[in-house]
Structure 1
Amino acid sequence: MFSIRRAATKMGARPAKNSLQIIPSRNFAIHKLKGKLAEMIPVVQGRLNTLKKEHGDKVLETVKVNQVIGGMRGMTGLVYETSKLSATEGIRYRGHSLDEIMKMAPSFVEGGSPAPEGILWLLLSGEYPNKQELDDVVIDLKERSYIPEETIELIRSFPKNMHPMTQFSMGMLACQSMSTFAQHYRAGIAKNKYWEAMFDDCINVVAKSSKVAALVFNNIYHDGKHLPEFFDDKLDFGAKYAHMLGYDSEDMYELMRLYLVLHMDHEGGNVSAHANRLVGSALSDPYLSFSASLNGLAGPLHGLANQECLRWYLEILDKYGKHWNKDDIVEHVHHTFDSGRVVPGYGHAVLRKTDPRFTHQLEFGLTHFPTDNLIQLVNACYEVIPELLPKIKPSIANPYPNVDACSGALLMHFGLNQFDYYTVLFGVSRAFGVMSSLLWDRALGLPIERPGSVTVEGLLEKAKNLD
Structure 2
Amino acid sequence: MNENEAIKEFSKLALKNNHIPQKYYDKYAVKQGLRNSNGTGVLVGLTDIGSVQGYSMNKGKKIPKEGKLYYRGIDIEKIVEGFQVENRGGYEETAFLLLFGRLPNKRELEEFNELLDQCRYLPDGFTENMILKIPSKDIMNKLQRSVLVLYSHDYNPDSITIDNVLRQSIQLMARFPTIISYGYQAKAHYFNKDSLFIHSPKSRIGTAQNILHMIRSDNKYTKTEAEALDLCLVIHAEHGGGNNSTFATHVVSSSGTDTYSTMAAAIGSLKGPKHGGANLKVLRMIENIKENVPNLKDRGQLKDYLLKILKGEVFNKEGLIYGMGHAVYTISDPRAKLLKKKAHKLALEKNKMEEYNLYSSIESLSKELFKELKGHDFEICANVDLYSGFIYEMLNIPADLYTPLFACARIAGWCAHRIEQIVSDQKIMRPAYMSVKENSSYVSLYDRSTI
Is TM more than 0.5 here?
Answer: yes
The residue that corresponds to 2:48 in the other structure is: 81
The yes-or-no answer on 1:320 pairing with 2:293 is yes
Percent identity, please: 23
Q: In the alignment, is the contact (CA less than 8 A) between 1:102 and 1:114 conserved in 2? A: no
Change (3 A) 1:139 1:324: same
Q: CA deviation at 1:287?
A: 1.5
Structure 2, gaps ≥5 residues long: 1-25, 36-40, 55-64, 439-451
Equivalences for residues 293-304 of structure 1 within 5 A: 293-304=266-277
The residue that corresponds to 2:405 in the other structure is: 425
Q: Aligned letter for 1:147?
A: L
SS of 1:354's partner is coil
Within the candidate set 304, 326, 330, 1:352 is matched to 330
Within the candidate set 381, 401, 424, 1:400 is matched to 381
CA deviation string 1:347-385 (max 9, x = no partner): 111111221101100000112323512222112222221
The residue that corresponds to 1:5 in the other structure is: none
| Worse-superposed segment, 311-320 or 289-298 | 311-320
Q: How many residues of Structure 1 are paired with residues of Structure 2 in the alignment?
A: 382
1:344 and 1:112 mapped to 2: Cα distance? 33
The residue that corresponds to 2:210 in the other structure is: 240
Change (3 A) 1:362 1:65: farther
How does the TM-score come out when normalised to structure 1? 0.76
Q: In the alignment, is the contact (CA less than 8 A) between 1:348 and 1:398 conserved in 2? A: no
The residue that corresponds to 1:220 in the other structure is: 187
Q: CA deviation at 1:342?
A: 0.7
Q: In the alignment, is the contact (CA less than 8 A) between 1:180 and 1:201 conserved in 2? A: no
Q: Aligned letter for 1:432?
A: A
2:112 and 2:405 mapped to 1: Cα distance? 21
2:273 and 2:123 mapped to 1: Cα distance? 32
Q: CA deviation at 1:395?
A: 11
CA deviation string 1:39-68 (max 9, x = no partner): xxxxxxxxxxxxxxxxxxxxxxxxx97873
The residue that corresponds to 1:59 in the other structure is: none
Change (3 A) 1:399 1:283: same
Q: Aligned letter for 2:434?
A: V
Within the candidate set 81, 97, 103, 1:103 is matched to 81
Q: In the alignment, is the contact (CA less than 8 A) between 2:296 and 2:302 conserved in 1? A: no
Change (3 A) 1:378 1:262: same
| Worse-superposed segment, 285-294 or 334-343 | 334-343
The residue that corresponds to 2:133 in the other structure is: 157
The residue that corresponds to 2:370 in the other structure is: 389
The yes-or-no answer on 1:337 pairing with 2:303 is no
Change (3 A) 1:211 1:456: same
The yes-or-no answer on 1:438 pairing with 2:408 is no
Q: In the alignment, is the contact (CA less than 8 A) between 2:117 and 2:203 conserved in 1? A: no
The residue that corresponds to 2:342 in the other structure is: 364
Q: In the alignment, is the contact (CA less than 8 A) between 1:219 and 1:225 conserved in 2? A: yes
Q: Aligned letter for 2:141?
A: T
How does the TM-score come out when normalised to structure 2? 0.78
Q: In the alignment, is the contact (CA less than 8 A) between 1:264 and 1:430 conserved in 2? A: yes
Q: Aligned letter for 1:214?
A: S
Aligned-CA RMSD value:
2.6
Equivalences for residues 226-265 of structure 1 within 5 A: 226-230=197-201, 233-246=203-216, 247-265=220-238
The yes-or-no answer on 1:115 pairing with 2:90 is yes
Within the candidate set 161, 169, 176, 1:202 is matched to 169
1:66 and 1:344 mapped to 2: Cα distance? 32
The yes-or-no answer on 1:375 pairing with 2:356 is yes
Q: In the alignment, is the contact (CA less than 8 A) between 1:305 and 1:344 conserved in 2? A: yes
2:188 and 2:29 mapped to 1: Cα distance? 43
Q: In the alignment, is the contact (CA less than 8 A) between 1:141 and 1:204 conserved in 2? A: yes
The yes-or-no answer on 1:93 pairing with 2:71 is yes
2:48 and 2:307 mapped to 1: Cα distance? 42
Q: CA deviation at 1:84?
A: 1.4
Change (3 A) 1:182 1:219: same
Equivalences for residues 274-285 of structure 1 within 5 A: 274-285=247-258
1:240 and 1:366 mapped to 2: Cα distance? 24
Q: Aligned letter for 1:358?
A: A
2:413 and 2:407 mapped to 1: Cα distance? 10
Q: CA deviation at 1:226?
A: 4.0
The residue that corresponds to 1:22 in the other structure is: none
Q: In the alignment, is the contact (CA less than 8 A) between 1:272 and 1:297 conserved in 2? A: yes
The residue that corresponds to 2:261 in the other structure is: 288
Q: Aligned letter for 2:386?
A: A
SS of 1:86's partner is strand
SS of 2:362's partner is helix
SS of 2:157's partner is helix
1:327 and 1:113 mapped to 2: Cα distance? 42
Q: CA deviation at 1:390?
A: 2.7
The residue that corresponds to 2:284 in the other structure is: 311
Q: CA deviation at 1:103?
A: 2.3
SS of 2:241's partner is coil
Structure 1, gaps ≥5 residues long: 1-63, 186-193, 459-467
Q: CA deviation at 1:123?
A: 0.9
